[in-house]
Structure 1
């Protein structure tokens, strides 16, 4: 009987944990597979840990990984995946927006020969228009500047086979954009669309700051285009400078030097433009150097404070390493 690991990160979700778990177990109850649950407490400050421990005390299939602080959604997912022992690994959020009812279909698709089962959020009436617009813009930009195509509307609700997960964990990035990393691997995949449901309780913990950080990790981890933009802008203004030199020399050749009048405003304009281009280039370089600096320090993506349950770590797991 195949083992299916379900990895679920939580951050300050005390109101919905029990309801979500009841819904999840009701779905998998009829499935002819063994299941294990990896709950990752991503530094919650409420009663999330206590709620998870109550579930674990009743259901030995539940394993709890408590991180020492909030390391972020991607790191929390990695913590669970590095411990998962299943033949099939499913990652999902525990707020109810990723419907557990799709799990049987995801497993069926994996059994039919797919290595990766991706899910794609469909637009829903009443959804935040600003969030929808920025999401569409982000995916258009990242797919334009990157060689790796990321599924628009993609979610971290996916199924991976053991082979795919082992290769994913072998990628040592510190700044992790899992949707792009999974796409980069290139295994046989299929897309399962779904309409996101309402949260069971509480509010989303994915703030604007966290979304911008994820977008930054995606852009600077999967593309060198920002550097090429700066280089192209510098080349463009170099051509303009050559054109200006030729234009001024034409007055000298014609002997019409008196027609050359100093243009303070145009000079300042060019200086400001050139200065802006230089600052943009230096800014892009600085970001890449910063990413390199964080990579070479080899700090872990997360730190585990406590583990609860019959946890048997896989030999290829990195634990608190990258």
Structure 2
């Protein structure tokens, strides 16, 4: 860029990149360097918003060393504990000041050039949301298989329009970012909320790179919890299944009762066996307890949302290379 506002004032921020940080100390120097390189290719000022989500390593200290020396404007937000990647992204979106806001992981498995494509699409005025869709991934076979199974279940149970490989990286206009932040739901899916909002959305394919630094904190347990959050937050399918099973069981019970009654009339009812009776009781009790558990999950989530607790707690915020710093 050449020139600038009079009086030495800095230009308004056009682009914001939000990076949640958890156990990423090894990749942070490269992330900051890549963002500085991207700033040189953009047609407007860029800011990076790092959200350290209660990371137990030295990520916060490393960023405090790197950002004052970096060539980009930045914010460094520290959470009071680990709240999860989605609350961290949401906190970053709330703090972002750019006209276009992107979310990317700090592990560099998504090419940073994809962010530039997002910004180009949004700046054209034709799109409000840009998401990255995986064409290929260089992860181990087990990880690829589990991820494929997970996202297949997600599309079938929750959102049919979700890309086959899921969404890990996306960008929105400022207006959409504000709408997304305003949806204050506990135990929900940020990507699910993004798709629920609608707007004009473009999907850009990319190849996911092999992880170089550290291990992913996105464990199978977290994926299962995320799937459950998505199912219970965006679909009534579990209740529909229980209703269908209940109706089917009721119809079968009526048929069985009629058959037993007719058999009793003609005197052909044999003595009932203990094993068969116990199996029926155990099956029925298990089904009832399962149904109560599903309904209880919906009730618990409703109760959680009435508490109005914030999705995360910001412990500190630092601003670098900014007029207000």
TM-score normalized with structure 1 length:
0.90
Residue 200 of structure 1, CA deviation: 3.4
Residue 99 of structure 1, CA deviation: 1.0
Residue 2 of structure 1, CA deviation: 6.2
Residue 107 of structure 1, CA deviation: 1.6
Residue 15 of structure 1, CA deviation: 1.4
Q: Which residue of 1 aligns with 2:7?
A: none
Q: Distance in 2 between matches of 1:199 and 1:133?
A: 17
Tell me, yes or no, if the aligned pair for 1:56 and 1:62 is still in contact at 8 Å: yes
Q: Does the residue aligned with 2:76 lie in a helix, a strand or coil?
A: strand
CA 124–145 in structure 1, closer or farther in 2 if over 3 Å, else same: closer
Alignment of 1:1-322 (within 5 A): 3-59=14-70, 61-112=73-124, 113-124=126-137, 127-146=139-158, 149-253=161-265, 255=266, 257-309=267-319
Q: Distance in 2 between matches of 1:129 and 1:288?
A: 35
Q: Does the residue aligned with 2:168 lie in a helix, a strand or coil?
A: strand
* CA RMSD after TM alignment: 2.0
TM-score normalized with structure 2 length:
0.89
Q: Does the residue aligned with 1:190 lie in a helix, a strand or coil?
A: strand
In structure 2, list runs of 5 or more residues that go unmatched: 1-11
**Alignment coverage as a number of residue pairs:** 309
Residue 154 of structure 1, CA deviation: 2.4
Tell me, yes or no, if the aligned pair for 1:116 and 1:158 is still in contact at 8 Å: yes
**Which stretch of structure 1 is more off in the superposition, 214-223 or 268-277?**
268-277
Tell me, yes or no, if the aligned pair for 1:154 and 1:179 is still in contact at 8 Å: no
Residue 55 of structure 1, CA deviation: 2.0
In structure 1, list runs of 5 or more residues that go unmatched: 313-322
